[in-house]
Every structure is written in C-alpha cells, then in structure tokens.
Structure 1
Amino acid sequence: MTLVGVESSEVLAQEKPKTEQHDGYVKGNMLPITPQIKMIKGVVKEANVPLPGVNIVVKGTTINTQTDMDGNFRIEAKKNDVLVVSYLGYTSFETKVDENNFYAIELKPSENHVTLGVVIVCKKRTFLGRIFHSIGNWFR
C-alpha cells in the first residue's frame, strides 16, 4: 500500500514551544484565593441541658441556622469567620472559627430579662355568648 500526495512534498516539523519565566510577574487576570468553606457542627447547652431553637449566624452575612431538639447545629463557614449564638433570655456568645469542626457552646442566662411564670390567654366573648353563658350558670 502506498500513499501518494498531490500537494507539495514539503515537510514541516513542530518547533519547541518558547517559555519565559519572570519572577514576581503574572501576565493576565489573577483570581483571588478564597478560604475554604467547611461544615461546622456543634451543640449548644446551658448547665449540661441542650437548648432547642438557638440562633447561630455567621457575623456579617445572612448565613444562619437553628439548633434541633437535642441542641445540635450544622452551619457552613470559613476560617476566621465569627459565629454569633443568641437565644431569648440568654447572653449572646461569639466565637471565631478555627481549625476545629465541632464546637460545644455553653450559654449563660441573661440578667437583663425577667422570666414570667404564667401566661394567661383569654378569648373575649360576644354579647350573645355572654348571655348564654350567664343563663347556663343559672342551671348549675
């Protein structure tokens, strides 16, 4: 089997690529290196009792989560971000994210809030409801 070429018989070889190295100089657009986002897990307690519904927010962002019924939470954050932990009736707590992936946070009751023992909710009766109720009391 033979190959016959109709064009020219000129043979071209590939040249070696030219490389240049300049210390401290980058040509073109540079992409900034961003810190890695990692999953942070933890538990929020008060006197070794888990607190459900505690708010955890990455400070300066809209990234937030709440603890589950066992006081556990998961949130995505970068190293050096600040987690703000807050709960009604407790002093807010801030912690900086470091190499740890698990945080055990202990909240302390706030001295500025007064806790009420009993809350009573009543429904106002209509005019006819009041009349029928008072008539019903006659037969008791």
Structure 2
Amino acid sequence: MIETAFTPFQSLGGGALIGLGAVLLMATMGRIMGATGILAGVVQPANLSDWSWRAAVLLGMISGPAVVLGITGEFPAIQVPVSTTMMIIGGFIVGIGVTFGAGCTSGHGVCGMARLSPRSIAATITFMITTAITVYVVRHVLGA
C-alpha cells in the first residue's frame, strides 16, 4: 500500500512559493500562471517575447532539484510508485482533462480561485472530487 507522508512545513513552503510566483507573474507580466497554457505557449509561441517569458517560467519550475542540490549537496529523494507506462497513460488522461476543463489545477485552482472565477471554482471542485475518488479506488478497491 502507498503511504502518504505528512509534510506540513514543506507543503506550506511549496504553496507559498507557488502563490508568490503566481502573484509576481500577474504583477510583472499581467499573465495567469497556468502551467499547461505556459507550456503550450512554449511549444507554439505567438512571438519571441511571448516565448521568452514562458521558457523562463518553465525553467524556474524544473530547476528546483538543482537548487536543493546546491543547498544540501544531494538531489531530493524521489519515489515513483508506478511504472513508466502508467505515468504516460496518466499524462494522457491529465492532458484530456486539461483540454476539456479549459485549464489545469494551477490556472484554475491557484489563479482562478483567487479571482473568484465561477468557472475556476467549479473546475477546482471537480478536480478535488475526482482526485478523492481516484485515491479511494486505487488504494481501497485496487489495493495498490
């Protein structure tokens, strides 16, 4: 069975950094920090200046382990309890959800909820219910 570690301080710190990043992006660029929209703009940029800020945000998102290495001298321990095939399937499912939901958890859950967007509130409620059902099925029905 998969055990979920209780990490309140790391979770609080990570949430604060995500919120700070969202606020800074809105304050400096006037843009919403929706990760899938940012990634889509890197893959199909409107122009070079649009691509530049999106690439910088993505670089910041993926550079966390290098920062941990620089501070602690070790990469963070990462355990992935599923196969690569399952991660790929999960990625496709998330991609479908992002397409039909017109955004991802960062765009709706962080930025949209902060703006009191009814569409984002509905999307976030849907994400949370779906997540709870998925965890229940995987852990208690499938026994993984």
- Over alpha carbons, which structure has the higher Rg? 1
TM-score by length of 2: 0.20
User: Which is richer in helix?
Assistant: 2
TM-score by length of 1: 0.20
User: Which is richer in strand?
Assistant: 1
